[in-house]
Structure 1
Amino acid sequence: MGLLKEVLLLPAAPVRGTAWVLRQVVAEAERQYYDPQVVQKELRELARQLDDGEIDEAEFDRREDELLDRLAVARGTAPQGPAAQGPTP
């Protein structure tokens, strides 16, 4: 029965393979996005931009909050519950 199933599903193999590749790409992108070393490097770059006058304080605060949220997720210390959702529109 297993061989028959594989033969019948053979035409779907490219779709299954593509889905697997997409899952792998998404997993790697998330790993890099939440990598603490990458986030810390981006925080240092952001501080440099503020010091050099390339961005203003409001832009710095907004982007810093985003990076700190990513860092919290990476470390498993992200806030839980409704307050973590932010204000509702």
Structure 2
Amino acid sequence: MGLLTGLLTLPLAPVKGVAWIARCVEETAERELYDPAVVQAQLAALHRDLDAGLIDEQTYDEYEDELLDRLEEGARRREQTIC
């Protein structure tokens, strides 16, 4: 980047910085959302809640489906990023 270009785009630096931070936060949140260890821990906790009688079978099935979908989506995303 030339000196003139750097000086002309300097006022945009805060906007670029905020956009970069937003992308980093989004990527981190998605990694955590689709992390197999996190999802498996949530499945185990869900099963414990069912065994303890804290939730009924229907609620268990609904949340289990959501968690299993997240596991599948995470696997799909990991396959796409591996070259």
Runs of 4+ with deviation above 4 angstroms: none
Unaligned runs of 5+ in 2: 78-83
Per-residue CA deviation, residues 41-79 of structure 1 (Å, 9 max, x unaligned), is: 0000000000001111111000000000000111229xx
- The TM-score normalised by the length of structure 1 is 0.82
Q: Distance in 1 between the 2:21 and 2:60 partners? A: 36
The two structures, once aligned, show a CA RMSD in angstroms of 1.4
Corresponding letter in the other structure for 2:23: R
Corresponding letter in the other structure for 2:30: E
Corresponding letter in the other structure for 1:20: W
| Match status 1:41 vs 2:25 | no
Corresponding letter in the other structure for 1:10: L
Q: Distance in 2 between the 1:76 and 1:23 partners? A: 20
Number of residues of Structure 1 aligned to a counterpart in Structure 2: 77
Identity among equivalent pairs (%): 55
Unaligned runs of 5+ in 1: 78-89
2:59 maps to 59
Q: Distance in 2 between the 1:24 and 1:50 partners? A: 36
Q: Distance in 1 between the 2:59 and 2:32 partners? A: 23
1:6 maps to 6
1:82 maps to none
Corresponding letter in the other structure for 1:13: A
